[in-house]
Amino acid sequence: MFRIRRIFDDGVPVNRNAIVQVQQILRDQFPLTNRNDIEKLPEQLRNPMKYRFRSVLFVADDLKRNVKGFALLLHAPDLEFCYLDYISAAKNMSGGGIGGALYERVRDETSMLKSKGLFFECLPDDPQLCKDPAVLKQNISRLKFYEKYGARPLIHTKYETPVRPFQDNPPYLVVDTLGKNRKFRRDEIRGIVRAILERKYPDVCNKEYIQMVVDSITDNPVQFRPFRYITEEKIEPAKKSVPPDLKIALVCNERHVLHHVRERGYVESPVRVENILTALRKTQLFTEFPAHLFPEEHITAVHDPGFVRYLTAVSSLIPDDQSVYPYVFPICNNARPPKELPMRAGCYCIYHFRPINKSAYTAARHAVNCALTAASKILEGNYLAYALVRPPGHHAEYKVFGGFCYFNSTAIAAHYLSEQGRVAILDIDYHHGNGQQNIFYSRSDVLTVSIHGHPSFAYPFFSGFAEEVGEVSGRGYNVNIPLPEIISTEQYIKALEKAIKRIRRFNPQFLVVALGFDTSRGDPTGTWSIDGKTFEKIGDMIGELPYSTLVVQEGGYNTRTLGSDAVHFFTGLWKGSFL
Ligand SMILES: [Zn+2]
């Protein structure tokens, strides 16, 4: 049993370990490969365009994370082609369908990237070019395998001219048109061949050699070798569907429905999650996972234990059908809190419109489990994960709740990820993410950035000013970008560009997005009017950041647009991340 998955970087231990195993396979199976080329693999993945190719690594691993094979694909977006650099099973691991499964995954990726074709080198099946009969036999079986997919060598060119005279076994350039039987113009192939030789072999091929090979391509359109091994052309087209390893891990808080405050004006209602979930299920972009239980210590890692104890205790005391509204706020004498638990609510609350009841606590506790489960999916190697939860959490501070929020799921998940590497939190809810600001205010390993309505007119009114920049060692690691009551799309995109620039400079291992759709047109709690197209653009811009990304649902209350806003945002995020 094995599964194929794409590895984006060496940010989490499970991926670091896979890359080390891939490097070992390279040493075992390709002993002539330059050591430096093997060592630079992690950097190649972290800086995708550094070598003028975007490197894409796939591994086939089993449940124990033993890598049984890998493929390294190089994508040239400028010339719209892909080059398969390596495809190999681990030592003593050939057969079992690993090579075939990897090749099909690579083809699907090439097709998804809208590349014109998949190019790679294959050693010759011509006895004139390969003198060793055993090697020749192996070469024949490889070319036969690729021919099943329609992939055949380019002919009437001097590509297979040995770089050094009398060198045996010079490779053909093979092209897979992904089942489309596409014709290539001479100039297209000349450009692609030049790029392969210049970018892949800068130390091996000199200028004269490259020019000689490029000039040798004269057919127009260029010719591929006629089928030699396959009699009938039954070529499988590459798949168009989203490969399973590129789906977004979705963890939804099913217990959110318990929490329903049926009062006029209480817009934080169960239908919000239902709308989003129904719309997202119609896309192909998600795989759903159930939430796991996580111990309370994850919550007390970012919240005051007294506050957590209080919420737990008071919600267990309140009868099922009743709510406690904080109405006494002992801000002057917090040292002597009221004895009665319901009365004490004001010690931990910033706003009197937030009730505490049994269901609120249960739903909030479950939202935390969802956010942590989604974060753990990131640590297992998923590149994108989404916790679709309510109640939201980003207004909950170290010691106080407020604004529909009880526990700060975003901050709890961010802290959990921060144990593995630096985290940037980008809050794009309409309201300031005062919770994360407060919780991480003196930390430099978690950058908090929030784009929101200016506190002079928008909740929470007391925080979100640009001059709040962090304190002590966290100074410079809190960024607030407050915006006016009425803004244009351009103004918003500009603010997002500024936020993204700061995040790139911070260069975290993980990105956590506190996602609010209350920036959308017609939202009862906001004043802006971001439309679907812009949500897609926002998703795309965030997706282009090269970090594993966890999205946690915060606000958004216009139930007529929530579903389509979510589809737009995640379509953009997915494209930005993978295309
Ligand atoms: Zn909000």
CB 274 within 8 A of CB 260: no
Which residues neighbour ligand 1 (ion) by CB within 5 Å?
A: 429-431, 516, 518, 555
Amino acid of residue 325? Y
Q: Which residues of 472-507 are buried (b: 16+ CB within 10 A; e: fewer)?
A: eebeebbbbbbbeeebeeeebeebbeebbebbeebe
Beta strands across the sheet bearing 248-252 = 286-289, 248-252, 384-388, 548-553, 510-515, 423-427, 446-453, 478-483
Q: Which two tokens stand for residue 327?
A: 């109405």
Contact 401, 434 (CB under 8 A): no
CA 477 to chain centre: 23
Tens-digit pLDDT profile for residues 527-572: 999 999 999 999 999 999 989 999 999 999 998 999 999 999 999 9
Kindly state the DSSP code that residue 380 receives in the 8-state scheme: T
Are the C-beta atoms of 178 and 239 separated by less than 8 Å? no
Residue 277 Cα to ligand 1 midpoint, Å, equals: 19
Global pTM reads: 0.86
**C-alpha 141 – ligand 1 centre gap (Å):** 60
Q: How confident is the model at residue 319 (pLDDT cuts 50, 70, 90)?
A: low
In degrees and rounded to multiples of 5, residue 499 shows phi and psi of -60, -45
Please tell me the predicted confidence (pLDDT) of residue 332: 44
What letters, b where the CB count within 10 A reaches 16 and e where it falls short, cover 435-450?
bbbbbbbebebbbbbb
Predicted pLDDT of residue 376: 97
Query: What pLDDT sits at residue 307?
Result: 85
- pLDDT of 326 higher than 60: no
Q: Which one-letter amino acid corresponds to residue 63?
A: L
Give 444-467 pLDDT, tens digit per residue: 999 999 999 999 999 888 899 999
Place of tokens 């009880």: 406
What proportion of the chain, given as a percentage, has pLDDT over 90? 67
- Tell me the HSE value of 103 on the side-chain side, using a 13 A CA sphere: 20
The alpha-carbon radius of gyration of the chain (Å, integer) is: 28
Q: Does the pLDDT value for residue 427 go beyond 70?
A: yes
Q: Return the DSSP state at 247.
A: S
How many angstroms is it from 428 CA to the middle of ligand 1?
Answer: 9
Gap from CA of 461 to ligand 1 centroid (Å): 12
395 has catalytic annotation: yes
- pLDDT value for 233: 63
Q: How far is the CA of 551 from the centre of ligand 1 (A)?
A: 15
The answer on pLDDT for 344 being more than 70 is no
Backbone angles phi, psi at 530, to 5 degrees: -70, 130
Q: Which of 366, 395, 415, 432 is flagged as catalytic?
A: 395
Q: CA 192, CA 223: separation in Å to the nearest integer?
A: 15
Q: How far is the CA of 517 from the centre of ligand 1 (A)?
A: 8
| Ligand 1 center–CA 525 separation, angstroms | 7
Please give the distance, rounded to the nearest whole angstrom, from the Cα atom of residue 430 to the centre of ligand 1: 5
Q: Which of 569, 568, 567, 560 is nearest to 522 (CA)?
A: 560
